[in-house]
Amino acid sequence: MKWFLILWAGPIALLGSWYGLSYYDMSFGIFMLTRDAHDLVFRIYGNVLGLQPETIPPLVARAIAVDSLFVFAFIAFRRRKQIAAWWRRRRAAGQAASAQDLPSADSLSSAP
């Protein structure tokens, strides 16, 4: 499971880092991090896909969000027994705490 998360998060982190650095032209002397390379990459993708280059980043962000939902759903499915046990313990602790907050029947009957 650890490798699954690493292999999922690694490319997303790499893409996000490249996009952020190249969008704001923080190149550190590396051509691939310049704004010119950023525009060139999206122009090439736009021509290949037949889309405007400005429409590609929101599509990629939406794809990452949907993929992330699938990854987290897969993880939750794999750990459903642990999650259910945690939920039951949490509910039991909440019910015990609320039962302590309620006044007892003896204190209600002796109240003036």
pTM strictly above 0.75: no
pLDDT digits (tens, 9 = 90+) for 1-19: 788 889 999 999 999 999 9
pLDDT band at residue 109 under the 50/70/90 scheme: low
What's the structural domain count of the chain? 1
Taking alpha carbons only, the member of 69, 36, 35, 41 closest to residue 56 is: 41
Decide if 11 is inside a domain. yes
Decide if 110 is inside a domain. no
Domain limits at 25? 2-99
* 92 Rama class: left (phi>0) / alpha (psi -120 to 50) / beta: alpha
pLDDT, averaged across the chain: 87
pLDDT at 2: 86
Decide if 108 is inside a domain. no
